[in-house]
Amino acid sequence: MDAFVGSEGTLGVVVEAELALAPDPAFTVGLFCFVPRDAPVPELVSALRETKGFSLLALEYLDPASLDLLRGERAAGRGGEIPPFPDHAGAAFYLELAFEGEEEVESGFERLERVLSEHGSSVEDTWAGFDAADRNRMRRLRHAVPEAVNARVARLRRAVPTLHKVGTDLAVPDEASAEMARIYEEARGEADMPSVLFGHAAENHLHLNFLPRTAEELERARALHLELAREAVRLGGSVTAEHGIGRLKLALLPIQFGADGVEELRRFRAGFDPAGTLNPGVHLP
């Protein structure tokens, strides 16, 4: 089974799967926490992960540039589906917390308030949703960022049809999250083009999306993506934590495994599919 996970359809075809369902928590609360632009993100994420009294089901991050992008969409009349959020918000976290009982909710919020206040924020700058409708509204704000990215790129392509976003899918271990955050900031400064950083903070798995405006910026973004992948691997991380290699990220596989590792993967695949008929051109360069 482990061999098939992540093989992207190159070792076989799943024709039947059996799932085990987990029960819903007794209480699930959605929270959108708005924090200052200069909030210490790695430290706050670590503190939230370690806070007792609730189970952390989701911890998503939207950086200042992400919120600015959404503000721009709304100001231009293109953000009708984007829920309004506070003008003073610098950055934001979306959390989903699970509690086993009502008494845990109150004590959990007290612990959360302590963590936020220690990192420049407060539950006073937080939306809380106790039902599915509220949580879905908050999720719309979170998912509005990649939608706005794609819309921005589509407009840029009217002038330069070859343009596309360059987005990372890197993840690093907990102990490397602060170092990777510093590396991201350096890369964004070097890129000298618009970019946003958002995604799955609990797993140290943030998507840095470069938004090139010219062909020259696109090539620069591609080169930076490869360099960022090398840095993630150096820190013990993964070049593709969520979306796979596919056909578009074949250059990342040697960065993760080296030339010898790629050849070993090729031989392993040949043991399942000697003729190479399953998903040709996918996963292996």
Mean pLDDT value across the chain? 92
Position 78: which residue type?
Answer: R
Q: What is the dihedral of CA 61, 64, 65, 68, to 10 degrees?
A: 110
- H or E element in which residue 49 lies: helix 41-50
Return per-residue pLDDT of the chain as tens, 285 residues.
Answer: 778 888 888 888 888 989 999 888 889 999 999 999 999 999 999 999 999 888 999 999 999 999 999 999 999 998 778 988 999 999 999 999 999 888 888 888 889 999 999 988 888 888 999 899 999 999 999 999 999 999 999 999 999 999 999 999 999 999 999 999 999 999 999 999 999 999 999 999 999 999 999 999 999 999 999 999 999 999 999 999 988 898 889 999 999 999 999 999 999 989 988 988 888 888 887
**CB neighbour list of residue 252: distance below 8 Å, 6 or more residues apart:** 226, 229, 239, 240, 245
Give me the pLDDT at residue 4, please. Answer: 81
Task: Examine domains 26-142 and 157-243 and report if their fold is the same.
Answer: yes
pLDDT of residue 226: 98
**Starting from the edge strand earliest in sequence, which strands make up the sheet with 27-35, in order?**
126-129, 27-35, 91-99, 55-62, 195-200, 205-210, 166-167
Segments making up each domain of the chain, as ranges: 26-142, 157-243, 246-285
Beta bridge partner(s), residue 210: 166, 195
| Residue 240 phi, psi dihedral angles, 5° rounding | -150, 90
CATH topology classification for 26-142:
Alpha-Beta Plaits (3.30.70)
223: three-class secondary structure by DSSP? helix
Hey, what CATH class is 157-243 in? Answer: alpha beta
Distance CA 240, CA 54 (A): 29
Please, which residues bridge with residue 42 across strands? none
